[in-house]
Structure 1
Amino acid sequence: MMAVETRSRRLGCWAALGATLLLLGCASNPDRVVDERDPLELYNRAVYRFNTDFDKAFLRPLAIGYQKITPEQVDRGITNFFDNIADVTSVANNILQFKMSRAGSDVGRLFINTTVGLLGFIDVATNVGLPSYKEDFGQTLGYWGLEQGAYFVLPILGPSSIRDTIGLAGDVVTDPLFSLREDRVHWGLVGLRVVDRRADLLTAGDILQDAAIDPYSFLRDAYLQRRLSRVHDGNPPRQEGQDEFWDEIDFGVPTGPEERQPSP
């Protein structure tokens, strides 16, 4: 119980720090013309540089080492295990959005993958036609009309927005790992999840750095467009001045069981 309370206090400290940095960002260079979606660009670019340096120094080497020593089947099983845990948060958010058929699909995924799929290491549910929606509290807030707000880069965690940063608190509380009382187990699993996720993004990260003239702007635009697509279940309204490039991108947002093919 004390471990959970300690983690709650830590979460509150991070939230207070984020709010302070946000106020400082709003107060700097008020006359500078910036993208209206990104009024905190000076702060965001500074954090982006910090995150990039941190990634190059720590996360990327860890991810490369992890990928080299972990057999492909084991790596896929670990990814499936954490995806199965994420379905708990998805169930809660689909219920909050009154998407009962999706909530039922998520419950079915949890039951099948946790039992037949051996705690989620094998993704049996996708192969029997149950799609993965992965709804989060940021999407729920957007569903109920809360505007996205300013683009906001979080230290270590990366791209976000004011709305998604608020929703992050709900995601943490509903994460089954948060309720683990043993700190070593909790942080061990959190660390493994971070490294596993970074390993899955190694190729995408290299392409981003090589192909984009301004990786920061590209990542920002991609993030905001993907979140808009997810809030609107894959059918986002067209934004004024939106680059046609993003119209051609498939953000992988399932809209029904028929659009999700079984995985090999």
Structure 2
Amino acid sequence: MRRVSAALLAGCLLASLTGHVFADDVEVAKNPDPWEGFNRKIHGFNDWADRWFLKPVAVGYTKVFPTPLRRSVSNFYDNLWLPLTIVNQLLQGKGGAAMNDTGRFLMNTTVGLAGLFDPATAAGLDYHEEDFGQTFGKWGVPSGPYLVLPLLGPSTVRHGVGRIGDALLFPPRYIEHDGWRYAAYGLWVIDTRSRLFGIEELVSGDRYLFIRDVYLQSVEFQIKDGEIDAEDDAFLDDDWDE
């Protein structure tokens, strides 16, 4: 309860801040990236860190470990994130989805051997992702400007604050032994990076603008649960028709 309360408190704080600093969210919509100069510097640092450190490690990981083992690692971490999803589904009033993912979590944790395997998908229990940033968006909290976080990548002010709650509900945080905790975080980062191979090839033109625009559109898509307004649909069509 304390973990959720801390996240809710962060959400209330964010609402008050955005209500004061970004009182007219229409202005943010007109210019979602007023901090572009700062963001580009952080983006450049993140690209450098990825090119020289994270990507080489992820490449080595995919070459050394076979696909079935890597798939089990991915399944394991997907399962660890499900409690976060379930909490946010409940906060958004998605009772049916919360029941689905609770069943999925229980099945994969038991029959799937701590989440290493995914029998729940075969049983018709689909996988969903929800976080506190999406919940704040559902509650009407303004997104605030686009923000690139060191090492964490694209975000917004709203989602940046939401990450506090996300982190509090990530089980490895509560591993008491430092070595095991760092190992759990490290393997999660490597697994996450390895999943981006292939996707990164789709990035074209100005990498910063491409990633920013795709991220902001993705966030809106998730908050609206895939429902795109007519104006948004026309905007996307225009973008891809160019």
TM over 0.5, shorter chain: yes
Partner Cα distance (2:201, 2:141) in 1: 34
Query: SS of 1:152's equivalent?
Result: strand
Residue 242, structure 1, aligned to residue 242, structure 2: no
User: Which of 160, 167, 171 in structure 1 is aligned with 2:155?
Assistant: 160
Gaps of 5+ in 1: 1-14, 16-25, 27-34, 249-264
User: CA deviation digits over 1:128-182, x for unaligned, max 9?
Assistant: 1111111100000001001211110000010101110010000001111112111
User: Which of 210, 213, 218 in structure 1 is aligned with 2:210?
Assistant: 218
Task: Tell me the TM-score normalised to structure 1 length.
Answer: 0.77
Q: Cα distance, 1:206 vs. partner? A: 3.3
Residue 107, structure 1, aligned to residue 102, structure 2: yes
Partner Cα distance (1:207, 1:107) in 2: 34
Q: Percent identity?
A: 38
2:236 partner letter: D
Comparing both structures, which one devotes a greater share of its residues to helix?
2
Residue 184, structure 1, aligned to residue 176, structure 2: no
Partner Cα distance (2:218, 2:129) in 1: 13
Partner Cα distance (1:246, 1:140) in 2: 28
Q: What residue in structure 1 maps to residue 198 of structure 2? A: 203
User: CA deviation digits over 1:196-220, x for unaligned, max 9?
Assistant: 1111112222332xxx111110111
Which deviates more, 228-237 or 151-160? 228-237
Partner Cα distance (2:88, 2:170) in 1: 12
Residues 60/171 of structure 1: CA separation in 2 closer, same or farther (3 Å cut): same
2:207 partner letter: P
Conserved 8 A contact 1:88-1:176: no
Conserved 8 A contact 1:44-1:152: yes
Residue 233, structure 1, aligned to residue 236, structure 2: no
User: CA deviation digits over 1:100-130, x for unaligned, max 9?
Assistant: 1111111101100000111111111111111
Q: What residue in structure 2 maps to residue 30 of structure 1? A: none
Q: What residue in structure 2 maps to residue 36 of structure 1? A: 31
Query: SS of 1:153's equivalent?
Result: strand
Q: What residue in structure 2 maps to residue 58 of structure 1? A: 53
1:145 partner letter: G
Conserved 8 A contact 1:84-1:113: yes
Q: Cα distance, 1:247 vs. partner? A: 8.1
Matched residues, number: 214
Q: What residue in structure 1 maps to residue 169 of structure 2? A: 174
Partner Cα distance (1:78, 1:239) in 2: 40
User: Which of 64, 71, 74 in structure 1 is aligned with 2:69?
Assistant: 74
Q: What residue in structure 2 maps to residue 260 of structure 1? A: none
Poorly superposed stretches of 4+, deviation over 3 Å: 238-241, 245-248
Q: Cα distance, 1:246 vs. partner? A: 6.5
Q: Cα distance, 1:245 vs. partner? A: 5.6
Compute the RMSD of aligned alpha carbons: 2.1
Conserved 8 A contact 1:60-1:202: no
